[in-house]
Amino acid sequence: MKINEIKKKNGTTVFRANIYLGVDRSTGKKVKTNVTARTKTELRKAIKQRQVEFEKNGSTVQKKVSVKTFKELTSLWLDSYKLTVKLQTYKGTVSQLNCHVLPVIGDRKVDKITSSDIQVLINELSTYFENYKAVRSAIRRIFQYGILLGIITLNPARDIILPRSKPKDTSKVKFIEPEHLKDFLDNIEKIQYRRYGLYFEYVLYNLLLSTGLRISEACALEWSDIDLEEGTISVSKTFSRATQLIDTTKTNAGNRTISIDGKTKNTLRLYQVRQRQVFFEHGARASSVVFATPTRKYFDTAIRQHSLDTRCKEAGVPRFTFHAFRHTHASLLLNAGISYKELQYRLGHANISMTLDVYSHLSKDKEKEAVSYFEKAISSL
């Protein structure tokens, strides 16, 4: 190492050396720097101090991000995570972290959180929150981000043991019993003529039942998506209640074109004419959105659910949600003989295992037919 003696303009003398610190861990480049001091002794101390600082900083000249608590690290991670997912997914993750994680370890120093801490958190979470695996995944990714930033060296969420998932309660998959469905449809058919709002509901309920669309898909539906001549509906978007914006479908498989029956075609054709009349009466141009009204482009699902609750009471049937129309549509098709592969496409499921997991128990009538098929087969031997 060469030490240079340098005289300044004011007449004072300093000593300077250009030293090699090592290879930067972040960039892979050699790191050299100049060190200056008033004396050679001070210069040697300064050189040693600079080398120690380089090693303490993780063998890099990149500045470490100043983060103390897990909450601060989570905030940094979310800034990057937001750029990689849909807004609705991002908001869901934020909600999970705010509800289940940050109240427990948010104020803890990030480098003091242990695997045992995370294990206890996830064990407790698994007893009441079905989607605890997603929470654990988020925690693990947050700590991994901390490693990337050089804040910590180990990920305490990496090696924890995930509690066993509880078997899904298929009874939660609600579909409308045939006798209740008949009573419900008879009632809405009878009262639809009283006012436009009831007619609006009649069309919406029948469309959901005949297509199996998600309520968010029906809300985003535009007239350009419907081919009344061919009898098809193209699904390519959803309306997010969380963001109040049009978004892409839940998965790529959600983009699909499905057929509709003759009655549904006629219902939509008549409804389109009536909708235009209503907009004209309010001095407004007809909307491109199928279920728009003169006062609201996209309906509020909470308000619609309240109306559905009222219709259920009027018909004397148990309360159900909009998703029950989707489940009932699937059940009717399965019992009519549709294959699971065809149903998967019609419902827009990403894979057939999802269709099987959710709906395999609904086709009870078809399962009973298996006995008669066997009897016919064995008797022909």
**Residues 259-283: pLDDT tens digits?**
999 999 999 999 999 999 999 999 9
Using one digit for the tens of pLDDT, what is the confidence trace for 183-192? 999 999 999 9
Check whether 370 has a pLDDT greater than 60. Answer: no
Selection from 178, 179, 134, 175 nearest residue 157 by Cα = 134
Closest among 164, 187, 166 to 316, alpha carbons compared: 187
For 112, half-sphere exposure in the C-beta direction (CA atoms, 13 angstrom radius) is 8
Do 186 and 315 have their domain in common?
yes
Q: What is the pLDDT of residue 181?
A: 93
Cα distances from 234 to residues 227, 253, 340, in angstroms, run: 8, 12, 20
Shared domain for 205 and 316, answered yes or no, is yes
Say if residue 372's pLDDT is above 70.
no
Higher-pLDDT residue of 167 and 274 is 274
Looking at the fold, whether 182 and 318 belong to one and the same domain comes out as yes
93 and 211: one domain?
A: no
Q: Report if residue 159 sits inside a domain.
A: no
Within this chain, do residues 343 and 231 fall inside the same structural domain, yes or no?
yes
C-alpha–C-alpha distance, residues 345 and 296, integer Å: 31
Same domain, 93 and 230: no
Q: pLDDT-derived band of residue 138, with 50, 70 and 90 as boundaries?
A: very high
Structure tokens at 92: 């869901």
Neighbours of 274 (CB within 10 A): 13
Mean pLDDT of 133-162: 91
The predicted structure's pLDDT at residue 42: 87
User: Over 90: is that where the pLDDT of 171 sits?
Assistant: no
Is 196 in the same domain as 234? yes
Question: What is the C-alpha separation between 268 and 226, in angstroms, rounded?
Answer: 9
Assigned domain for 205 exists = yes
Beta strands of the chain (E only): which ranges?
3-7, 13-23, 30-37, 226-227, 232-235, 237-240, 245-248, 256-259
Given a cut of 60, whether residue 170 has pLDDT beyond it is no
| Tens of pLDDT, residues 322-367 | 999 999 998 888 888 888 899 899 999 888 887 887 776 655 555 5
Q: Are 156 and 118 in contact (CB under 8 A)?
A: yes
At residue 235 the predicted structure's pLDDT band, cuts being 50, 70 and 90, is: very high
pLDDT bucket at 238, cuts 50 / 70 / 90: very high
Domain CATH code at residue 122: 1.10.150.130
**Section 287-305 average pLDDT:** 94
pLDDT of residue 139: 96
Pairing label, strands 13-23, 30-37: antiparallel
- 167 pLDDT band, cuts 50/70/90, is low
Q: Give the end of a domain, one of 116, 148, 180.
A: 148
Position 366 scores a pLDDT of: 54
Least confident of 53-67, 83-97, 252-266: 53-67
Domain shared by 102 and 229, yes or no: no
144 in a structural domain:
yes
Residues 134 and 211 in one domain: no
DSSP bridge partners of 34:
18
Residues 229, 211: Cα–Cα separation, whole Å:
17
236 and 135 in one domain? Answer: no
Q: Is 175 a residue whose pLDDT tops 90?
A: no
Total domain count, the chain: 3
CB-CB contact of 65 with 76 (8 Å)? yes
Q: Name the residue range of residue 98's domain.
A: 70-148
164-183 burial by CB neighbour count: b if 16+ within 10 A, else e?
A: eeeeeeeeebebbeeebbeb
Instruction: Please state, in angstroms and rounded to a whole number, the distance separating the CA atoms of residues 12 and 30.
Output: 32
SS3 259: strand
Compare 373 and 321 and report the one with higher pLDDT: 321
- Under DSSP, the state recorded for 12 is -
- The verdict on residue 292 lying in a domain is yes
pTM (predicted TM-score): 0.65
- Tokens 């009283």 — which residue? 194
